Amino acid sequence: MFDFITFIPRAVMQGIPLLFGSTGETLTEKSGNLNLGIPGIMYVGGICGVIGSFFYEAGKSAAEMNAFLAILIPLLCCLLGSLLMGLLYCFLTVTLRANQNVTGLALTTFGVGFGNFFGGSLIKLSGSELPSIILTNTSNIFRRHLAVGDSTGAFGKLFLSYGFLAYLAVLIALAAARVLNRTRTGLHLRAVGESPNTADAAGVNVSRYKYAATCIGSMIAGLGGLYYVMDYASGMWTNNAFGDRGWLAIALVIFTVWRPNVGVLASFLFGGLYILHMYIPSGMNLAVKELYKMAPYVVTIVVLVLSSMRNKRENQPPASLGLPYFREER
């Protein structure tokens, strides 16, 4: 029998970084910016958090650490790092109107390099024998969950066994959905992504919305990197361990047809697909697990194709996605 009780929490934990990433990217894309730098931004978010806590944790025992500071410092570092990445992307694509694809890819090159470089430097600094940094104490604080989670059996395991960042991810996704669909800011943002001309004519400040959405989106995505290191990986940073999760987050945006609230369940589904191979008796065939890992991308392609075939307007990418806006060209 398939063991759902162990499978689902694992899938959720796999899904949370993707959820952060896709919520951030959805906000960004809603403003018409296709930020392919998200994978890099998530790396930067992760490593900045690691750097922060590395220096806080250094030389302290678990008892000496102030739980509040242990969380606040990495959190702020992570947000600052990803904010700077978002600002850089905006400056190049919005202010200087550079090509979004090229800028995004450059940002990813830079971000992944940044993460691995400082990761590598910290590993050297820590004098560790293994090619990784372990921040167990900080991680333990990040992973704290309610005590009732352990005593309430299956329910606790399914719903109460996660660190606070996981709940934050869900909250942010739901809040993002609400902002997009129910508030004036969201309305203006959607208008900017669909038709910057019209929004501009109606008095919406297009550049300001693009900047704000992209920067906030980057910070949210950065949290995904932080969650991955501090919670999922138990505080262990290994270079390249984050892998291609950033691209998976972009796939998730398409899969959810630009709806962050759908992203909550969809990210768990993606997380599940990612680790499904471990739970399915594949006859000892290791190869098959690689095919299972393909699943999220394949279903994303299917969704992309189906939504373009059905041509339902709500399910299309924002109409101005990837295009720079220059008022004098209208």
**Chain centre to alpha carbon of residue 315:** 21
Q: Give the span between the Cα atoms of 6 and 10, in whole angstroms.
A: 7
**Which of 46, 317 has the CB closer to another protein?**
317
**Which of 69, 280 has the CB closer to another protein?**
280
Stretch 189-208 residues interacting with another protein (CB under 8 A): 190-191, 194-195, 197-199, 201-204
CB contact set of 32 (below 8 Å; sequence gap of 6+): 192, 193, 194, 196, 210, 318, 320, 321, 322, 323, 325
Q: Give the span between the Cα atoms of 255 and 319, in whole angstroms.
A: 17
Stretch that binds another protein, among 167-175, 183-191, 219-227, 230-238 (CB under 8 A): 183-191
Q: Rule CB under 8 A: choose which of 120, 158, 159, 174 binds another protein.
A: 120
The mark string for 308-327 relative to another protein (x by CB under 8 A, - otherwise) is: xx-x-xx-xx-x-xx---xx
Residue type, position 290, single letter: E
Is residue 21 involved in binding another protein (CB under 8 A)?
no
Stretch that binds another protein, among 48-56, 141-149, 156-164, 180-188 (CB under 8 A): 180-188
Distances (CA, A) of 301 to 77, 95, 165, 246, 248: 35, 32, 29, 16, 12
Stretch 271-300 residues interacting with another protein (CB under 8 A): 286-288, 290-291, 293-294, 297-298, 300
Stretch 133-162 residues interacting with another protein (CB under 8 A): none
Stretch 60-89 residues interacting with another protein (CB under 8 A): 88
C-beta of residue 104 within 8 angstroms of C-beta of residue 41: no
Burial (CB < 10 A; 0-12, 13-18, 19+), residue 281, is exposed
**Which of 66, 183 has the CB closer to another protein?**
183
